[in-house]
Chains A and B, each alone.
Chain A
Amino acid sequence: MLLIDCPWCGPRDEIEFVCGGESHIVRPAPEVDDAAWADYMFMRTNPKGRHAERWGHVHGCGQWFSLVRDTVTHEISAVYRFDQPRPAERD
C-alpha cells in the first residue's frame, strides 16, 4: 500500500494509481531489427534496489509521472514529471 506523492495532487493512496512499468525506455524507430525491437518490448533492468517507474494518477488528476522506488523496501526516494530528468541519487 504505497503512499504516492503525485506532483500535482500531493500524497495519495496507491489505489488511485496505475503503474506503467519502467521509466526512460526509449522507443526505437520501426526500422530497427528484431533483436532491438525485442529489447525495447521485453527487456527491463529489474533491479534489486532503486527503480525508476511510471505511474499514472488515473483516479485523480489523470497525469503520468515518474518516481524512484526501492524494490526491496518500497521507499520512494524521488517523484518527478516526465519533462524532468531522473534526479541524482542521494547517499
Chain B
Amino acid sequence: MRRLAEGGRIDRSQLLNFYFDQRRLQGFAGDTLASALLANGVSIVGRSFKYHRPRGIMAAGPEEPNALVTLGDGALAEPNLRATDIPLQDGLYATSQNRWPSLGFDVGATADMLSRFLPAGFYYKTFMWPGWRYFEPHIRRAAGLGPAPTTVEPDPERYLRRYHHCDVLVIGAGPAGLAAARAAASAGLDVTLVERDVEPGGSLLWRGGTVDGMDADGFIAGLPPLRLLTRATAIGYYDHNAVTVLEHLPPGGPARQRLWQIRARQVVLATGAIERHLVFPNNDRPGVMLADATLHYLRRHAVACGQRAIFVTNNDTAYDAALALAEAGVEIAAVADVRRGADGDAPRRARERGLKVLDGVTALATTGRGRVSAVRIGDIGGGGGRWMEADLVALSGGWTPTVHLHRQAGGTVRWDEGALAFLPDQARQAQRSAGAAAGAVTLAQTLRGGHEAGAAAAAALGAEPSVAAPVAEGCHVAAPRALWQVALPPSAGKQFVDFQNDVTAGDIALAARENYVSVEHLKRYTTLGMATDQGKTSNLPGLAILAETTARPIPEVGTTTFRPPYVAVTMGAVAADAVGEDYQPRRRLPAHDEHVAAGALFEDFGPWPRPAAYLRPGEDLDAAARREARAARAAAVMFDATPLGKIEVFGRDAETFLERIYCTPVAGLKAGRIRYGAMLTEHGVVLDDGVLARLGPDRFLLSPSSGAALRVHRWIEEWRQGEWPDLDVRIANLTHAFACVAVAGPQARAVVARIAPALDLSPAALPHMAFADGVVAGVAARIARVSFTGEVQYEITVPASHGAALWRLVQGFDEITPIGIEAWLRLRVDKGYIHVGSDSDGTSLPGDVGFGPLVARKTGDFVGKRSLLRPDAVRPDREQLVGLVASDPAFVLPVGAQILPGQGVALPVPAIGRVTSACFSEALGHGIALGRLRGGRGRIGDTVEIYHLGRRLTAQVTALPFFDPKGERLHG
C-alpha cells in the first residue's frame, strides 16, 4: 500500500502525473497503472459485473480480472483495458467502470443483497420471450463493462500491419524463452522473440535467481543477435505456424498498435503459467491478491501491497513471496498452507527465518469495509478457525500453464495429477512448449527446458546451438495439494471462481444439479470464463469444482476450447490501415478529372468510382438522369465505358474453346464482326452476358460486363487450365489497358464521323455488330458498333493513357451530352436488356431470361449445357423475364415488389415473381419495369397484383422490348 524508499525497476527521476476517476495522482516511469494505483493506496478499482461488489487489483499481468478501466476519452476512449497491462505515462487518463455514481457508493450494489434472486442461468429462466425486449435495456445497463465510445468521430490513431518470416519464433522472454532463443540464435538461425511485457526477463525480474552466475540484465546482455519485440502479445496461432502478434508501440511512434502476422518455421511456446486464486467465502474483497503479484509489485515497482499480510497457499511458490515481503518490512502474520509438513526448500527456508507457518489450514472468510481487514483461518474442511487481522491476503492456488497457443495450434493436453495442471502433450504443428508452460517449476528446470526446446527447433532446421544450456541452482519443491473450494454452506458467503463475470462455486454446483455437466454447457449457462479475461484464472478451478460436484476425474470433464485472441484486440488493429480511402485500392478512370469538371456525382461500382450522373444546377440524381436519357433519344450522349471487360482469347483453338465457354453460338463469327453472347455456370445458371468480337482467325475480344470482368477472366482461365489444357489457347485480361467512350443517339454517327474522318461509317461499311480499326486524335482506336441503349452506338477504345484526351475531344461537340450510369441503365430497360445479377439470380437459366432461342442453335457441348436438361430446368412454370407496366402509367414500380398469385389473395402467401428493374421511360412517357414471373411468357397481357410494403398495386404483363421492337433505331 505504499512505495518503498528504494528498489524496483522504476525511474524515480521521472515523476508522472496521471488521472484516475478525475483524481490527479503520481507515479514513476516504469510503473504500470496498476502499480501506481497500489502505490497511491487505491484499493477499489472497479465494481463487479453482476453484483456490483467492490473489487481491487488481484494480479500483475494479462490475467487480471478486476482492474478494468477505460483509457482516454472522446474518440480516443478505449474500454475494458487491464490496469496491469498499461505502462504509466504522463497525463494518462483512466476511468473505472461499471459503477454509478461512483466507486465508493454504487446503487447497483443492491444486486448483491438481492443475489439469492440472481442464481446461475437467472436471465435464461426469467427473461424469456416475449418479455425479453422490455427487460433487455435495463439488464444491459445494470450488468456490463465499459461502454464503447459513443463519439461519432473516427478513431484518430493509426494502426499498422506487418508480415514477417523467421526461422524460429519464441513466444515469451522469461527464462525459458530467453534460453530457447539463445540456443536457436547461437545456431545461426533467424530468431524472433516476442514478449508482452515492456522488457524481457519474465519472472527473473521479480522472482530473481541467477543464470550462469548472472542476474537477468547480465544474462540478457549476453544473448546472441536476434529480433526482440516487447509489449508484443502473441494472440493467435493458426495453421502452418502462422502466429499473430499484437504490438503496442510507444507514444510518438509510427502508430498506436501494430498487428504482426509471423510465419515461423519453428515455434517455441515459453508462455509461462498463471497463478490461481483459492476459492472460499468472500474471497473477492479488495486486498485479496495473488501471491506472485505481491512479489511482482515489490520487486518491479517497489510497492508493498499491504502492511500486514497473510499468505494462503497450496504450493511452495508463495513462500518466496512471503519472505521477500518480510524483508521489505511487511509484517507477515502467517503463511497458511493447506498441506501438512510441506518439505520443500522454500517452506523450510521460511520456517528457518522465523515466519509463522500454519499447516493444514486455509482461509474460510474475510471481513472488512471497502478493503479486507481480517481473514478467518481454519481447517481445510471448513471447520473452526480464528480471525486474524491483515490488510493483504495473498493467495496461491497453484499454477495453470498457459497452453492457449498450444491448443490453438491443435496440440493436445494431458492432466498431470502431481502438478494439478493440464500440460501440453502432442503438438500438431512445428511447435514445442518450454518452461512453466510445459510444467517446469524451478528456475533450473525452466532454463534447461528452454534450452532444449531451442536446440530441438534448431535441430529440426538442421542447425546446432553453439552454447551450453544455462544453469541455475536447483531446489527441492514439494507437490501442491488440491483444494478447489471450501465445504461451507452458501450462507457463509459467496465463493468466487470467476471474478470478472461474478461466477461462484455455488453457481457451478447449481448448474451441475440442473444437469449442465458438460464443461461447454457449464460455461454458457453460468458465463464462467466468458468475460474479457476469458477465464485465465478461473477456468481450471471452475472445471475442477464441476468435476468434484459430479464425482468425475478432472480429465474426464476436460477443458473448454481455447480460441484466439489470447487477449482482446481492438478492431483498429485488425483493420490496420485498410480503412476509409485505403480500404481497397481504387481504380481511377483516365478521364476522372474531366468527369469532376463536368459535375459528375460519383458512385462506387466495385473498385471504380463512376459518374452516376452529371448534375446541373438545381438537379438531383433523378432529374439529371431523366435529362440525360432524353438526350440519348433526341441527340447524342457520351458514356465512359472504360470498366467494361476487355479479355483477349487467342490461339489456334480459340474458337473451339469459346464455343465450349459460351452457351450462345461463337463458330461462324466473321473477323470484324461482333456477337452477343452469354456464359453459364456448370449448373446452367447465367454467369454473365456481353459481346465478343472476332479480331482475326485465331483471336477474339470478349467484353464481359464491367462488374464481372475479373470474375470472367478467372472463370475461363480455370476451365482452360483444368479441363482443356490440350487446347492451344491463351487468355489476357486487358481491361485496364484501354479506355472506352461510348457515343449513342440519333446524332452519334455525325459526331464520330468528325473525330474519325478517315473511317467509312455508313451502315453498309460499318453495320450494327461490326467494328473497324482506325485513328482517333492521332492514336490507334477501335470503333465498335454495339448498343446497350437501343440507339446507334459506337464504342471508341483507345490506350488508357489517351482516355482523358478522347473524352475531352468528344465532349467538345455541341450535340453531345455526358451521360452517367444511372440513365445508361434506364435506357436498357426500354430495350428489355437484362442486367445479370439484377434481373437474374443464382437460379436463372438462359431460357428464363430470353436466351433460349440462341442456346437452342448450339449443337456441341458447353459449360452448363447438361444442367439445362434437368427436369427442373424444363418446367413450364419457371420464373421468366417479362415486362410490367403499372396500371397508373406515371407510377414506377418499386424494385423488389412481390407479384401475388391472384387478385385479392390473403397474406401471407408465396409470391410468384418480383420486380427486378424499373424506371420512368423518357421514350415512352410512362413507368416500365422488368420482372420475373412464374410461367411469365405465357401470361403476356394478364393483369397481376403486386405487393409492396403494405400496398397492393396492379400491373399488366407485357412482352419485351418496350421500345423499338424492330430495332430500327439501333440499325439506323
Contact = CB atoms under 8 A, between A and B. Distances in A.
Q: Which 6 A-B pairs have the closest CB atoms?
A: A1-B242, A1-B238, A3-B240, A30-B866, A64-B721, A74-B239
Contacts of B73: none
Nearest to B241: A3
B682 A41 contact: yes
Nearest to A20: B718
Given A28-B866, A34-B871, A56-B717, 4 more contacts: A3-B241, A20-B718, A63-B721, A82-B725
Given A27-B723, A41-B683, A64-B721, A32 B242 contact: no
Nearest to B428: A73
Interface string A18-35: 101000000111101010
B722 A1 contact: no
Interface in B418-476: 428
Contacts of A64: 717-718, 721-722
B240 A1 contact: yes
Interface string A70-84: 000110100000110
A72 B478 CA distance: 40
Interface in A34-85: 34, 37, 41, 54, 56, 58, 62-64, 73-74, 76, 82-83
A54 B717 CA distance: 13
B410 interface: yes
24 contacts: A1-B238, A1-B242, A2-B240, A3-B240, A3-B242, A3-B263, A13-B242, A27-B723, A29-B861, A30-B866, A32-B866, A34-B869, A41-B682, A41-B867, A62-B717, A63-B721, A64-B717, A64-B718, A64-B721, A64-B722, A74-B239, A74-B240, A82-B722, A83-B725
Contacts of A73: 410, 428
A30 B861 CA distance: 7
B190 to A, nearest CB: 16
B867 A82 contact: no
A64 B721 CA distance: 7
A27 B871 CA distance: 20
B857 to A, nearest CB: 16
Nearest to B163: A13
Contacts of A32: 866
Interface in B632-686: 682-683
Given A41-B867, A58-B714, A2 B722 contact: no
Given A37-B866, A82-B725, A2 B861 contact: no
Contact of A34 (B241, B410, B721, B870): B870
Nearest to A74: B239
B865 interface: yes
Interface in B211-265: 238-242, 261, 263
Contacts of B717: 56, 62, 64
Interface of A: 1-3, 13, 18, 20, 27-30, 32, 34, 37, 41, 54, 56, 58, 62-64, 73-74, 76, 82-83
A22 B163 CA distance: 30
Interface string B688-723: 000000000000000000000000001001100111
A29 B865 CA distance: 10
A67 to B, nearest CB: 12
A54 B683 contact: no
Contacts of B428: 73
Interface string B137-164: 0000000000000000000000000010
Contacts of B871: 34
A37 B872 CA distance: 14
Nearest to A56: B718
A88 to B, nearest CB: 22
A73 B240 CA distance: 9
Interface residues of B, number: 26
Nearest to B861: A30
Contacts of B723: 27
B410 A20 contact: no
Interface string B148-192: 000000000000000100000000000000000000000000000
Contacts of A82: 721-722, 725
A64 B866 CA distance: 25
Contact of B714 (A2, A30, A56): A56
B157 to A, nearest CB: 25
Contacts of A18: 714
Interface string B845-875: 0000000000000000100011101110000
B721 A30 contact: no
Nearest to B244: A1
A62 B733 CA distance: 11
- Max count, chain B CB within 10 A of own CB: residue among A1, A2, A18, A27: A1
A3 B722 CA distance: 22
B734 to A, nearest CB: 14
Nearest to A27: B723
Nearest to B871: A34
Nearest to A18: B714
B609 to A, nearest CB: 23
A83 B261 CA distance: 34
Contacts of B682: 41
Contacts of B870: 34, 37
A20 B722 CA distance: 10
Given A64-B722, A82-B721, A37 B242 contact: no
A28 B865 CA distance: 12
Contact of B865 (A1, A30, A41, A62): A30
A1 B891 CA distance: 52
Nearest to A32: B866
- Max count, chain A CB within 10 A of own CB: residue among B242, B722, B723, B865: B722
Contacts of A20: 718, 722
Interface in B853-908: 861, 865-867, 869-871
A55 B700 CA distance: 27
Contacts of A34: 869-871
A20 B715 CA distance: 11
B955 to A, nearest CB: 37
A64 B714 CA distance: 10
Contacts of B867: 37, 41
A13 B240 CA distance: 10
A63 B720 CA distance: 10
B725 A1 contact: no
A30 B870 CA distance: 11
Nearest to B866: A30
A29 B870 CA distance: 15
- Max count, chain B CB within 10 A of own CB: residue among A20, A32, A64: A64
A36 to B, nearest CB: 9
A2 B241 CA distance: 9
Nearest to A34: B870
Contacts of B865: 30
A80 B721 CA distance: 13
A11 to B, nearest CB: 9
B470 to A, nearest CB: 33
A28 B682 CA distance: 12
B586 to A, nearest CB: 18
Contacts of B869: 30, 34
